[in-house]
A and B are shown apart, each in its own frame.
Chain A
Amino acid sequence: MKSPQQRIDRILLGAVIAVLILGVLAVYSASSFRGAEKYGDSACFLKQHLIRVLIGMLMLLIMSRIPYEKLRVITPPLLLVLTVMLVAVLAGDAFHGSRRSLLLFGRRFQPSEFMKLVFIFYLATVFARGREANVFRQNTLMIHYYLVLLIVGLVFLEPDLGTALVLFFLAISMFYLGGVSLRKLVQMGLILMPLVAFGVFVFPHQRQRLTDFFNSLADSGMINYQVKQSIIGLANGGITGVGYGSGKQKLFFLPEPFSDFILASIGEEMGFVGLTVLFVLMLIILWRGIRIALRAPDRYGFLLASGITCLIMINALVNAGVAVHLLPTTGLPFPLVSYGGSALLMQMAGIGVLLSISRVAVTPYGEFTEYRSRAVCWNKGDRRCVSW
């Protein structure tokens, strides 16, 4: 028995659209000068961004119409294709100093961005079976863990430390949500230690970046140039900002003013108030995402929804942490706001899945009096969902 089709979560959709609009405004303001300088068209980045937002909306609508159970079917092939692509990226030519993207149909395409989403699909499938399933046997668990490490390692080799870390923390979150105990997680983390040590040894660039970061925490003179410019922009903005379009950091100082450091642009022009509005919107997305997860009709839906919510939040937190000098620089875009095609498309697809889950959410006012156990009752007849 299926719960009747309901409306998608409109509060979530509203919050997402609000963040997108904020992003379009911020991208336009932050990119107009560079666009005019580089291409003679102050709106050229805006146009690109709008096209991507439209494609993203389309993606979101499509994903929200597909019943999310269908994702199980496409997950293994997607995982395989993306892993192959990650290997292909490593074999390809460097673009802007690192090998992150492939040229597909004339557009740059970052498999690592889409890997984030497929990672969630994959781990949700793994843990959807519950505790009785084989998953929790030591060996099976470790096989999945090593696969995760392999993929994270491929991304790390690009080198893209930021995305690798996001993928790793995402995997840990999924393991935890899937029911792996904290003690086991710590054990698994310990296995990683020699690997991390080896990585730091092999990549002096990354080690340098880490040591620089820790040094700069103590001595502000050591702060690297980009972060310094970001902080100057934020400090310039004050409470209400210098006004939309009048920021000066974006002119020459701030690198990537409309992708990695878009928060600095927003913070300079719209001030603390603007950033608070953005954060409140992100918290609304968090609230609705968790709500959708808890009301999901089955375990698979719960894992998908909470994983996607975590992904968006981790991206946002890491990006913001870099902008205010609480984390070392990573080069991650802010979700739904920053300029950048692959990331935006991936996030819109993720939110589409969230909306698709919200469509079949079980309400506490339905036939199930105690909604916390609804998943159990509701899925009793379903072969795939073993009660837990």
Chain B
Amino acid sequence: MKALDSVRDRQVRIINLFIIGAFGLLLLRFFQLQVLGVSEYRAWSDRNSVRQISVPANRGKLYDRTGHILVDNRPSYSLFVIPFEYNRNPVDADLLDDLIGMSPANIESRILEVGGNPFTPVRIIRDMDFETLSTVEENRLDLPGVFFQIEPVRTYPSEVSASHVLGYLGEVTRKDIRMHGNLRQGEIIGKNGLERRYDGLLRGVKGYQYMEVDVRGREVGNFGKRRDLLPVTGYDLSLTLDHEIQRLAESLLKGAGAVVVMDPFNGDILAMASKPDYSLESFARGMTPDSWDALRTDPKRPLLNRPVQAQIPPGSTWKLVTAAAALENELVSAKDTIFCEGYFRLGSRIYQCWRPFGHGSVDIIKGLKESCNVFFYQLGLRVGVELMEKTGRRIGMGRISQIDLDEEAPGLLPDEKYLDQKYGEKGWTRGLMANMAVGQGDLLVTPIQMARLTAFIATKGVLPVPRIVKAWRRNALETWTNIEIQTSHVMFRHDVFSTLEEGMLRAVNESGGTATASRVPGWDVCGKTGTAENPQGAPHAWFVGYAPRKNPRAVVVVLLENGGSGGIAAAPVAGRLFRKMAEKWP
């Protein structure tokens, strides 16, 4: 018994010794490698340096509806530093300053700004010219850790500007990285417009290249057996824009303003112009902080995409909503007339009509045609805030249109609660309602909302969701995949549409109408002008309209900030656009 026990003891002791011996051997080996430092292994460590270079993907291209290219890519040279190597062996600072005009302090602050891993290259210059590049290459030995890479940048071959719709690109910020996990420092993403909304489709997938480099930063060869990863180009997009109409719309806008041309049935945006605009090319070349600040603080606000972001009182174009609300609720009939003496007295206040001596006897159609304020003051009082708000909400006022742009303003459609809050309960008067009926007061709309309203009248009930992208494809070898059209139908009494249409038709095509400047022979244009009073300066000029009446093909909304009278300033712009389309689509 004792013997067997000692057998077990011996077995355990032997195995124990064996294991401890092996551990000892391993520790000795670690000691040899780590503490004694076999010089041969140290040498490997110094020699070995691999650069992981991310190869940016080409972003997808943007085409207009006819296949005309709007946004393309071109190769450019960017200069990078690798912070780890840059900090380890300081480069010839004067040389670099001479070459690219960046002092070491600049470069260091740039590295800090980008942050992140010390082995990830930091872009210090975008779109370098070739001469600078070749000088950098000549002096490569004095610039360890500095290298160039070919990167695609955006180019805009078309004469169309459309800067707000297309949008510019920029480097990701920390916030972007927090929001989308798959981004890395230094990458380029869309910052606004379509480039931002469709960034996920357009961006593509970047690739990687692994290069083994020596101490001097020269590429020794492709690294190991690891396979490089090729980048995948982003998706192409086909826009609903028509470059001819877009270009005309842009050329017609002289001062600040917006033009929207839309297909009333499916919401396709044929043109969306906003002025003042900015040059997308200058973004592609890389904005300097100064020019960016100048753009941002410009009092004319060139970065604002006015068709979707300008919130402006609608002026007399709102009479369409007031009329619709009254007709829908049977508060007025086509036969009702009032007598306009040129003013309207409510309590102790006098409300003026725009024509000093009045319009005489006015019914609703004449009211729309000649834009008689007195008629609509009275109509507005009948409709009241609640019905006005309800009707407006149904046809897309006071809320975003869900167009495929991220930057969209909702406008303002006051309800009783809002007015109570602003003026105190019962602090607001019937006068306020009268004012609102002609599109003044607290009301604010965006041009795209007015375009939807007009489309709703033109199509007799279709309220389209505007869209700028109609199809995508993976690459040029594939066919386009259409994006679904979204429309909703809003049921109104039929005479609402016929009355509004008649008023708008006469406003354009009958003498005495306010919008006669937009007349196009042979194309029944229907339209309504507006002149939104503006306490800060000249009134804003509006025109909303569509044509042809029977089978409407386009809605046009023109807004000219401080443009003056709608009939004189805005209607002719719309007229030019309608004429162009009449020629295009005979």
Contacts and interface: CB of A to CB of B under 8 A. Distances in A.
Interface in B1-39: 1-2, 4-9, 11-12, 15-16, 19-20, 22-23, 25-27, 29-31, 33-35, 37-38
Contacts of B7: 179
Contacts of B23: 279, 282-283, 317
A321 B27 CA distance: 10
B33 A235 contact: yes
B30 A267 contact: yes
A231 B15 contact: no
Interface in A210-262: 220, 225, 228, 231-232, 234-239, 248, 251-253
11 contacts: A40-B184, A234-B33, A235-B45, A237-B34, A275-B27, A282-B23, A283-B20, A306-B12, A326-B25, A326-B29, A372-B5
Interface of A: 33, 36, 39-41, 131, 173, 176-177, 179, 220, 225, 228, 231-232, 234-239, 248, 251-253, 267, 271-272, 275-276, 279, 282-283, 286, 290, 293-294, 302, 306, 310, 313, 317, 320-321, 324, 326, 372-373, 376, 387-388
Secondary structure type dominating chain A contacts: helix
Interface residues on B, range: 35 or more
B210 interface: yes
Nearest to A326: B29
B527 to A, nearest CB: 52
Secondary structure type dominating chain B contacts: helix
Contacts of A279: 23, 26-27
B52 interface: yes
A324 B26 contact: yes
Contacts, number: 119
B45 A236 contact: yes
B16 A286 contact: yes
Contacts of A324: 26, 29-30, 33
B15 A176 contact: yes
B26 A321 contact: yes
Contacts of A388: 1, 4-5
Contact of B119 (A131, A248, A276): A248
A313 B26 contact: no
B203 to A, nearest CB: 13
Contact of A253 (B22, B37, B50): B50
Contacts of B40: 220
A141 B100 CA distance: 80
Interface in B161-219: 181-184, 210
Nearest to A312: B19
A52 B23 CA distance: 27
Contacts of B5: 372-373, 376, 388
Contacts of B210: 252
Given A177-B12, A179-B7, A317 B20 contact: no
Contacts of B30: 234, 267, 272, 275-276, 324
B50 A286 contact: no
A33 B26 contact: no
A238 B35 contact: yes
Contact of A272 (B2, B15, B34): B34
Given A41-B181, A286-B20, A373-B2, A235 B26 contact: no
A232 B16 contact: no
Contact of A232 (B22, B27, B41): B41
B116 to A, nearest CB: 9
Nearest to B177: A40
B35 A272 contact: yes
A41 B181 CA distance: 7
Given A235-B41, A239-B35, A225 B225 contact: yes
Nearest to A306: B12
Nearest to B44: A232
A207 B77 CA distance: 49
B159 to A, nearest CB: 39
B42 interface: yes
A326 B26 contact: yes
A177 B15 contact: yes
What 10 pairs across the A-B complex have the smallest Cβ distances? A40-B181, A235-B41, A40-B182, A272-B34, A324-B29, A388-B4, A232-B45, A234-B33, A313-B19, A317-B22
Nearest to A131: B4
Contacts of A40: 181-184
Contacts of A294: 9, 12
Contacts of A253: 48, 50
Contacts of B16: 286, 290
Contact of A173 (B15, B44, B84): B15
B15 A235 contact: no
Contact of B33 (A231, A248, A321): A231
A314 B50 CA distance: 34
A251 to B, nearest CB: 6
A290 B499 CA distance: 99
Contacts of B119: 248, 251-252
B15 to A, nearest CB: 6
Given A272-B34, A324-B29, A252 B223 contact: yes
Nearest to A251: B119
B26 A317 contact: yes
B487 interface: no
Contact of B9 (A176, A248, A252, A372): A372
Contact of B31 (A225, A237, A272, A321): A272
B36 to A, nearest CB: 10
B103 interface: no
Contact of A267 (B34, B50, B223, B225): B34
Contacts of B25: 326
B224 interface: yes
B227 to A, nearest CB: 13
Nearest to A388: B4
Given A235-B41, A275-B27, 8 more contacts: A131-B4, A237-B34, A251-B117, A253-B50, A286-B19, A294-B12, A324-B33, A387-B1
B12 A290 contact: yes
Interface centre among B5, B15, B48 (most CB of A within 10 A): B15
B49 to A, nearest CB: 9
A225 B210 CA distance: 15
Contact of A235 (B34, B52, B223): B34
Nearest to B39: A235
A316 B177 CA distance: 40
Interface centre among A173, A177, A234 (most CB of B within 10 A): A234
B9 to A, nearest CB: 7
Contacts of A310: 15, 19
A176 B6 CA distance: 14
B26 A231 contact: no
Contact of A231 (B12, B41, B182): B41
B50 A238 contact: no
A293 B12 contact: yes
B395 to A, nearest CB: 43
Nearest to A238: B34
Nearest to B8: A302
Interface in B210-260: 210, 223-225
A249 to B, nearest CB: 9
B27 A276 contact: yes
Interface centre among A237, A267, A271, A324 (most CB of B within 10 A): A324
Contacts of B84: 248
Contact of A176 (B11, B42, B52): B11
B1 A376 contact: yes
